[in-house]
Chains A and B, each alone.
Chain A
Amino acid sequence: MTVSPATDAFLELRDLRIHFPTDDGLVKSVDGLSYRLDRGKTLGIVGESGSGKSVTSLGVLGLHNRRNAQVSGEIWLDGLELVSAPEDVVRGLRGKKMAMIFQDPLSAMHPYYTIGNQIIEAYRIHNKVSKSVARKHAIDMLGRVGIPQPDRRVDDYPHEFSGGMRQRAMIAMALSCDPELLIADEPTTALDVTVQAQILDLMRDLQREFDSALIIITHDLGVVAELSDDILVMYGGKCIEYGSTDDIFYNPEHPYTWGLLGSMPRLDREPTDRLQPIKGTPPSLINVPPGCAFSPRCPYGSRTGGLSTGEVPELTESRGGHKVRCHMPPAERRSIWESDVKPMLETT
């Protein structure tokens, strides 16, 4: 049992570790992650596949099977510690206190039950109401997320909805009990851009209305730029950079974040001749490179005098809440950004 006092933050993760023992070795999907999030705020979690971003959020909801996942650390949600809490307590919180929007609505919904039934089920678990009241509420929610003719579509099965509508129905389901914490895992990745824009608008409006805390997990830097207050960049199961959205986009300090920004072709800039990719591939989570996990791909590793491959860097505060996990001193990082990286990103 943990004895640390509850924090004033609505959600706080302290040194969360989620490891999976496998035949090939221990997979350290999340390895010492800490962050906090207040009500009404949006946190964007960015990273490539295998960086541990989805595993973290499943961990917050307590959806890992304790038999094959080793979870340690602390998750404080509104004064309650979740890692050590019994399963039925966490189950009681899911849906009402915290909810999740999954990436692929077709596999997240039950194909044999109507959309309406699935919303009603969740609503009635947390609210002692009759079926007909719950049904009215489900129709209401579907209307709120912009499903046309919700009173008729409520009896449709998931396969009868288009991709964009299914994602809306998922959002309706997640929001049906007014959760205070909403986690959206790649909510728009499977959607077309015009529908993505609608869904992002919808999430922004609903968050404002419910004043909930929102975590949005994505690999699309455009999506986090639109929605987030703060951004957390993950790499190899660790947070490597954390800061306000402006910090991350205008004064990023980690070479990996620079690499991400250089990899993307951008519509808002003149077309470049060449993209600036990050060399190599993301690390295996079983054999994480020694020292800094990014060191094999980092163009500045040699500047640390061997530190980068010898020692795991700490996440340290650079300035004003902006934290970076890098061996290079902050002043050096800033000067590389100002003199090398930024001009390259802007002129090319």
Chain B
Amino acid sequence: MSEHPDMLLSVKDLSKHFPITTGLLKRQVGAVKAVDGVSFDVVKGETLGVVGESGCGKTTTGRLITRLIEPTAGKVVFEGEDITHMSQSRLRPLRRDMQMIFQDPYSSLNPRHTVGTIVGAPFRIQGIKTEHGIKRAVQDILSLVGLNPEHYNRYPHEFSGGQRQRIGIARTLALKPKLIIADEPVSALDVSIQAQVVNLLEDLQNELGLTYVVIAHDLSVVRHISDRVAVMYLGKVVEIGGRKSLYSSPLHPYTNALLSAVPIPDPANRTGRERIRLQGDVPSPLNPPPACRFHTRCWKAQEVCKTVEPVLTELASGHQVACHFPENMPVLETTAPAENTTA
């Protein structure tokens, strides 16, 4: 892929294998291949959505990017700098630019700290002096995320789930990061509160020019906030593309199945909607199927799928898929005039 001038984050062949050990000597007997050769780029100002079912490695990917855990292989390039093996002391100043929003607003805030302490912590850790003191800076951020600045001295338990998530977002924003990794930012919230937080994330992006990597399992939320979407299955990216083309003509059978499995809130859809029913569960990442990992559940699988691993190939402009028998191909062939179909 060509270097984009505004590239903020670039992930190449990133892998994380968690060893499984046994006995006193911790002999390694196997590895959970949570993430296995994931590559993607994120351009400044865009939102990349990462979707997949539980156990597909989306959360691990987020943690690898922020180096909360160490990758087994591959590299992470942030603003042109390879941070994969950077020492913690060199990494620390970079953490200002790269922050994370966590899924659970209950366990990600220290119950013994006030909101002021929680949101002010980044300033103290990074040793940043603010013009009118930390308190003032924290209160500014609190009002930015829609909380009352007078809540500075309150404790997390005094807030509802939605408000807590806003506190988490305020802490993330404290140092004006360039990249925010949001791991299931709204899945713990009620529907009406979810919409408030989604809108807040979008407003902040417009105001502060943030770049997001949003990790979520909810396909409709991801479509709503993302510019591009990556679909993961068992530690691999199986499809990545612009939101519009990915949702309207998914190329990978798995993406197609995922989309058709989402219940549509319209009773008229009950009948007449063609459903793809996948059999069984996601196989264990301990022993993933060889070659194409989806072949055990795929209705199009043939011999080649069990022996040759498909690679991510660009089939439409900016839309890549790793599949031997992609879906929706006839449409592409008839509508797209020869250009751009291969790259």
Interface residues of A (CB under 8 A from B): 48-49, 148, 162-165, 192-198, 200-201, 219-226, 245-246, 249-250, 259-268, 271-272, 274-279, 281-282
Give the shortest distance, in Å, between B121 (CB) and chain A (any CB): 26
Are A225 and B266 interface neighbours, CB within 8 A?
yes
Residues of chain B lying within 8 A (CB to CB) of residue A263: 191-192, 194-195
Residues of chain A lying within 8 A (CB to CB) of residue B198: 265, 275, 277
- The interface size of chain B toward A, counting residues with CB under 8 Å, comes to 42
Interface residues of B (CB under 8 A from A): 53-54, 160, 162-163, 190-196, 198-199, 202, 217, 219-221, 223-224, 243, 247, 257-267, 269-270, 275, 277-278, 280-282
Q: Which residue of B is nearest A48, CB measured?
A: B190
Give the shortest distance, in Å, between A226 (CB) and chain B (any CB): 5
Q: Which residue of A is nearest B280, CB measured?
A: A148
Are B281 and A278 interface neighbours, CB within 8 A?
no
Residues of chain B lying within 8 A (CB to CB) of residue A267: 219-220, 223, 247, 259, 262, 264
Are A277 and B195 interface neighbours, CB within 8 A?
yes
Q: A193-B53, A197-B260, A262-B195 are in contact. List 7 more A-B contacts (CB 8 A).
A: A148-B280, A192-B53, A222-B265, A226-B269, A260-B192, A265-B221, A267-B262
- Cβ-Cβ contact count across A and B, 8 Å cutoff: 127
Q: Which residue of B is nearest A219, CB measured?
A: B191
- Partner of A249 from B53, B261, B263, B266 at Cβ < 8 Å: B266
Are B258 and A225 interface neighbours, CB within 8 A?
no
Are B265 and A261 interface neighbours, CB within 8 A?
yes
Residues of chain B lying within 8 A (CB to CB) of residue A224: 265
Give the shortest distance, in Å, between A341 (CB) and chain B (any CB): 15
Complex Cα–Cα for A162 and B286 (A): 14
Are A246 and B267 interface neighbours, CB within 8 A?
yes
Complex Cα–Cα for A163 and B223 (A): 26
Complex Cα–Cα for A140 and B198 (A): 46
A–B Cβ pairs within 8 angstroms, 5 of them: A222-B262, A222-B263, A249-B267, A266-B220, A271-B243
Are B258 and A194 interface neighbours, CB within 8 A?
yes
Are A198 and B277 interface neighbours, CB within 8 A?
yes
Are A225 and B224 interface neighbours, CB within 8 A?
no
Residues of chain B lying within 8 A (CB to CB) of residue A262: 195
Most chain A CB within 10 A, of B192, B202, B221, B277, is at B192
- Partner of B196 from A164, A266, A277, A282 at Cβ < 8 Å: A277
